[in-house]
Amino acid sequence: MVDPLDAYSQVVSSVAAELLPKVAGVRAGRNSGSAVVFTSDGFLLTNAHVVGSSRAGTVAFADGTVEEFAVVGRDPLSDLAVIRAQGPTPEPAALGDSDKLVVGQLVVAVGNPLGLAGSLTAGVVSGLGRSLPARAGSAVRMIEDVIQTDAALNPGNSGGALADSRARVVGVNTAVAGIGVGLAVPMNSTTRSIIAALIRDGRVRRAFLGLVTSPAPLPEPLRRRTGQAAALRVVEVVAGSPAERAGLRGGDLVLSAGRTPVGDAQSLQRLMFADAIGRPLPITVYRNGALVDVIAEPLELTV
């Protein structure tokens, strides 16, 4: 019988062998952190706060290779940035899907904490669905579905990989919330859309609706009627916003937007990208015992 510790060690060491060469140390001005190679033509993924306002910097790989990089695009509201090395890079890491994670699952963090190149720590997924505020100028947005882990993270881990047992990158390490509490931006369909926009345009265009919401369970009669278990309770409607002009009110339960059911903040936020700007967005809400349909036209978010 295989000793459990040996099996655990084998998994972690295999992830280390696969990912350590593909995670670089990043230096951009006075900032430092980590980045992970995710394409075969030199693109690396990191945190927006790692590159800051810099346009260029250097990446150092585990084999001692140092390359200059240029910042391709950054998005402070998701804390993601894409950079491109000016020379050869290792083969890319495989990107996973954070939506398939479960609490208690083994994860491995790879990065360069405290300037210690090629460091690895292991732990578990401690929590899912966390929220993390991100700011760009006057705009504040919640990064949804943030991954919480007890894998040790320290300054310098930011921008590094959080990987599953098959060395697939399921998150980008972004913050230390306390002892034993690390947070990572999830690798999911929304993240992939952001990465694609950064490569294509250098920035992410977002639509602005003007709602502050929180998830809320639906009453049983409405649940049976709609087939939904949850919706978004409107906490605040921003004055002068598209939502106010459409007639949305505090206390409304938003059931759907764009004819798509919404039950959490991410389900609404994933609609608020460039395609929604200036286009009619049908919204159905539950108000005073009745279903109410309105049409909003989101504006482009300016920061």
Where in the sequence numbering do the catalytic residues fall?
Answer: 49, 79, 158
Q: How far apart, in Å, are the Cα atoms of 30 and each of 53, 175, 176, 193?
A: 10, 18, 20, 29
Whole-number Å distance between alpha carbons of 92 and 167: 11
CA-to-CA distance for 57 and 174, rounded, in angstroms?
Answer: 19
Written as six digits, the tokens of 172 are: 């980008």
DSSP letter for each residue of 168-213 = -EEEEEEEEEETTEEEEEE-SHHHHHHHHHHHHHSS--BEE--EEE
What single string gives the DSSP state of each residue in 49-106? HHHTT-SEEEEE-TTS-EEEEEEEEEETTTTEEEEEESS--PPPPPB--GGG--TT-E
Contacts of 277 (CB under 8 A, 6+ apart): 205, 207, 298, 299, 300
CA distance 123 to 151: 4
d(Cα 25, Cα 23) in Å, to the nearest integer? Answer: 7
